[in-house]
Amino acid sequence: MRYLKRYYRVMHLEEALEELYGLHANEKQSYRQRTPVVMTFDDGYHDNYTHAFKAAVELQVPITIFLIPGYIDSGDYFWWGEGERLVKQTRLNEFTFDGQTYHLQQPESQKALALLIDMRLRTAHSVAEREQFLTQMRHNLAISVQETCGRDVKDVNIPLSWNEVMEMQESGFVSFGAHTMHHPVLAYLSDPAEMNYEVADCRKVLQERLGKPIRTLAYPIGRDEHIGMEAIKAVRRAEYTWAVTTTKGVATPESDPYRLERVLVEVRRHWLLIAAETSGVWGIFAPLWKPFTNKKENI
């Protein structure tokens, strides 16, 4: 944040997009200023409040967070972390699923089962199907209701509360966008009515809760194969002005407002690498760096 504040104009997302698409009207003024940049956070993790918000206030840096109202209401753990969490919780030594036996004392088997659970959740054709599968897996893995309930703030995979959201909004340093009602992977939804609900009602609920217009949406997961044309049509019908993907790239005045690209970074990476990624320099040097490391880029 310190680096971005020093070398860029850090802005809220809607403010930056208004400027971007009005660039030609103020071309001379815009090019004299530093390049605008937006810091976005998907999902609304609890640590957006305990860490990102704290830093944003301290350093006077605006940020934008995409929220999932259904998870804020329920306080449930996010589904994409449940595979790993359930495998860690079970006391079973062996578990057979889809004809494959997993030896749960072995890390490789734990990882394989967690990935399989995640894939089944990811490709569910409805939110109801996803939640029914989760319930069945908890039963099959002999995990009690008491173990699945409650909000453990030490677990990174929990959502914000509405009180935290309101406190952040009142600070003026945090703006919000939509991330669907329950974070389904939109391309896999089989019912067009459910897709419309996930997209449109998310905007409606957030506007009622926050008392402000919601004009931006981030697609869940966010790659082309996770979105699909029907989702883009639903976003247009819901009258969002812009939507962002997780496809790597930067926004220009020629960018499709419903397919905006972003630069994804891993917060545990060194800030110099994030600086290089933001500026575009990393794209030049990354091919030279890869032969010297076995670590996969998480961007």
pLDDT digits (tens, 9 = 90+) for 127-157: 999 999 999 999 999 997 655 555 555 667 8
Same domain, 61 and 162: yes
The answer on pLDDT for 298 being more than 60 is no
Same domain, 102 and 220: no
Going by C-alpha positions, the residue among 216, 190, 206 that lies closest to residue 11 is 216
Structural domain contains residue 182 = yes
What's the structural domain count of the chain?
A: 2
Structural domain contains residue 46 = yes
- The residue among 91, 118, 148 that closes a domain is 148
The answer on pLDDT for 31 being more than 60 is no
Check which CATH number belongs to the domain holding 62 and give it: 3.20.20.370
At residue 279 the predicted structure's pLDDT band, cuts being 50, 70 and 90, is confident
Give me the domain span that covers residue 138: 79-148
Amino acid at 218: A
Give dist(CA 81, CA 141) in Å, integer. Answer: 16
Q: How far is CA 23 from CA 19, 26, 30, in A?
A: 6, 5, 7
Query: Is residue 232 classed exposed, middle or buried when 0-12, 13-18 and 19+ CB atoms within 10 A define those classes?
Result: middle
Residues belonging to the chain? 299
Structural domain contains residue 276 = no
Same domain, 165 and 142: no
Same domain, 195 and 134: no
> Which of 60-69, 77-86, 262-271 is least confident?
262-271
Same domain, 39 and 18: yes
Structural domain contains residue 278 = no
Same domain, 124 and 62: no
